[in-house]
Amino acid sequence: MFGGGKIQYDRALTIFSPEGRLYQVEYALEAVRRGTLIVGIKTKNDVCLAAHIKIASSLMEIDSIDKLFKIDKHIGCAISGLHADSRVLVNYARVQAQSYRLTYDEPVRINMLVKSIADLKQIYTQYGGIRPFGCSLFFIGYDSDGPQIYTTSPSGIYRSFKAYALGSGESTAREFIEKEYNPTFSLREIQLLAIRAIKESVDDDLTAETIKISHISSEEKIYKLLSKSEVESLLAEL
């Protein structure tokens, strides 16, 4: 009755397999798993985000590769998966954040912003003639509940974490963080932990060009991208 394998069920987004799976969504999830690695870690007071940059060619301008984005003063995100899809969602998130400010005269709560992104992603899993977004957005932020980490999946799922990793080598990075994580760490210590997790999970040598780091501290409560000299200072401590 269901012969022929999955080939009958992966040609259209709206067709379920006999096992209840949507193969197009699973293919989008695989695009995320093949993306470059990103790591986020938070403590009671601070949160940081680190992204590995894969340089495909020595002719490429390294500074033109964006993995970390500022969404609002108190929110930033990293991307894993298809960059073109990610760029569209980053712009959508920025519009949603500013629309909330104009409407309510206060910064958007992180969980509300992430839910709106996840809702949009879910819509793209249930209509014919479209495909899922082949990317995950990894949000960090600071609101009345303190530092936050959220991830969004191509399927429309969103989750909050104390620490997490997405992309190529994510399993190794997660295992490393689970062993080393301590909620009492300082901002500097979680930045170093994020770099070490990436170093354990990728084959490349890490430099100030191939690693990008951002954070939100309890003192400033604003999203900040570290300069190359600040990243070099962290790398020197490894």
For the segment 114-168, what is each residue's pLDDT rounded down to a tens digit? 999 999 999 999 988 899 999 999 999 999 899 999 999 999 999 999 999 999 9
Q: Which two tokens stand for residue 196?
A: 């070490």
Give the Cα separation of 12 and 25 in Å (integer).
10
Give the Cα separation of 215 and 212 in Å (integer).
11
Count other Cβ atoms within 10 Å, centred on residue 20. 6
Asked if the 5-54+67-231 domain carries CATH number 3.60.20.10, the reply is: yes
pLDDT at residue 5 in the model: 52
E strand or H helix at 28? helix 23-33
Give the Cα separation of 159 and 199 in Å (integer).
25
End-to-end C-alpha distance for the chain, whole angstroms: 58
pLDDT at residue 2 in the model: 45
pLDDT at residue 231 in the model: 95
pLDDT at residue 226 in the model: 96
pLDDT at residue 60 in the model: 81
- pLDDT-flagged residues of the chain (< 70): 1-7
E strand or H helix at 142? strand 135-143
How large is the greatest C-alpha to C-alpha distance in the chain, in angstroms? 63
pLDDT at residue 7 in the model: 59
